[in-house]
Amino acid sequence: MSTHAFIALLLATTFATVGIATVLVVRLRWHWFFRCCLVVVLLAPLLAAGAPEVFLTLLLEAGTIAAGLTAVTWRHGRGSDAPLSARFSLQTLVLATVLAGGLLAVWRTLPELNHYAWQSMLLMGFGSGACVLLGVAATASRPRWYFRLPLVVLASLLVGLVLAWFDWFVPSLWDENYWPPTDVAYVTSVGVADETHPLLIWFAITLVTTSVVAGWLTVATLARTAHTLAHRQSWQRRAARTACFALSVSIAVFPTFVLWRLLTPGRVPVQQLPIPNAYNAIVDIGETVSSSPFAAIEYDWDTVAHAKLTPALAAIDDELDLLHDTLRNESWVPLEYSLNDVSAHDWSSVQGLARACSARGRLAQLEKNNEKWLQSILDGIRVGYSTRRGGLMVDAFVGIATSSYVAGQLYRHRDELSVEQCRAAASVLLDLVEGAESFDKLYRRDATGLSL
């Protein structure tokens, strides 16, 4: 299933499920406060899943449906000429205050949203509610079906047209966009044409939502009729109820499964770290180098004078020799899958080590010692590879940048190496590339961390 089809199916079935449930709740003969509480309880798992924006959007859909059905019921029950009463009881005010307080508590959990996000939430809430009401209207007895159905389809397409031009939620689900949408202002500022809109997918979503609601209400009406008419055979009544139940399950199963996946994230994989883990020793050496006299010229090592570079590197000569031996051991980034993951604080130490190796290589080059120069450069490249295995995508990016930084020096001065030295360097580089983790493993670890 393509991404667009997945999103269309998820949104259509979600809107239809919430719409059908709201229609059933509105038709209950309960007090309005208990019916509102029932709708909130049905949507409450979204709050547990960390999706307050979706909760408010679907609550707005339910409110739109309830308002529409209540208005129609009032008109048919009291007549269009009946005066509208503005009276309300103190009890109603207190109960409404309780609901408002609950909504305010949900409001406070919302992240910072821009007006494009609010625009999308309001449009989806009112639009999906309108589609459900159109589905209810499609099953009405008047006007005749050959007038009624084309009008319902046209109205559904008009709702889809508004969403297709002004929604920014669906684009946030693909093309590496984010929620809340942040690239709208940039696109406008640079004068680039918005190639995202209109979102033709919304025409399918609105039509499917309206059709599913109309189809379910039709089947439910037939099932209720078969259940109440005495002349129906028992197997006919059972078949009608079974069809209604099967259709309800088929509509709700997909959004329910997605919600269940949000509520039950995958288990944190157990990381099997090598013993001893060279990563810890590399970080310790990097911290020592960062606190040494070399730190004063760390960013100017390629331009500093030979007389100043020599004592700075002499102070960390033992540490760089230890690093050379440590890089022969296996190294894995330890992960904790938390916002306070300590690996994020190790990047500066890793990059400082790479600069120290490059500086040592430059000093050896100035001293015409190609063997030591090549060894230092290869150590710097190994640092980048050794500090990314087992980590997240960001660790890999830092490791790639570190290795590339040192490898640039090797590439610029490759003509100064002998044939044997070039072959030895190529062999080391090939082993490092072949032993590197695939980005598929990095992506899976990132996805695991984001789902927690």
Q: What is the pLDDT of residue 87?
A: 61
The pLDDT > 70 percentage for the chain reads: 83
- Mean pLDDT for the chain overall: 82
Residue bearing the bigger pLDDT, 355 or 175: 355
- Would you say residue 74 has pLDDT above 80? no
d(CA 381, CA 374): 11
Q: Contact at 8 Å (CB) between 422 and 414?
A: yes
Work out the pLDDT band at 39, boundaries 50, 70, 90.
very high
SS3 126: helix
Query: CA torsion, points 233, 235, 237, 240, in degrees to nearest 10?
Result: -140
For 288-308, write each residue's pLDDT tens digit. 988 888 888 866 666 777 788
pLDDT value of position 452: 54
**Burial status of residue 40 (CB atoms within 10 A of its CB: 0-12, 13-18, 19 or more):** middle
Nearest Cα neighbor of 355 from 450, 310, 290, 416 is 290
Cβ neighbours for 334, distance < 8 A, ≥ 6 positions apart: 271, 273, 277, 279, 280, 342, 343, 390
pLDDT the model gives residue 37: 92
pLDDT for the residue 334: 84
CA angle 49–122–167, rounded 5-degree value: 90
């309005």: which residue's tokens? Answer: 32
Give the pLDDT score at 342.
44
What pLDDT score was predicted for residue 193?
46
Query: How does pLDDT run across 189-217, given as a tens digit for each residue?
Result: 544 445 566 788 899 999 999 999 998 88
Query: Minimum mean pLDDT among 62-76, 276-290, 333-347: which range?
Result: 333-347
Q: For 306-332, what is the mean pLDDT?
A: 88
Q: Helices 52-78 & 32-43, crossing angle to 10 degrees? A: 150
pLDDT at 243: 80
Pairwise CA distance, residues 254 & 250, whole Å: 8
Of the pLDDT bands very low, low, confident and very high (cuts 50, 70, 90), residue 132 is: very high
**What length is written for the chain?**
452
The token duo for 89 is 């009881």
> What does the alpha-carbon distance between residue 14 and residue 35 come to, in Å, rounded to a whole number?
20
Residue 313 pLDDT exceeds 80: yes
Q: What is the pLDDT of residues 354-392, one digit of tens each?
A: 888 988 888 888 888 889 989 999 999 999 898 888 888
Distance of alpha carbon 147 from alpha carbon 176, whole angstroms: 43
Peptide bond into 143 cis (omega under 30): yes
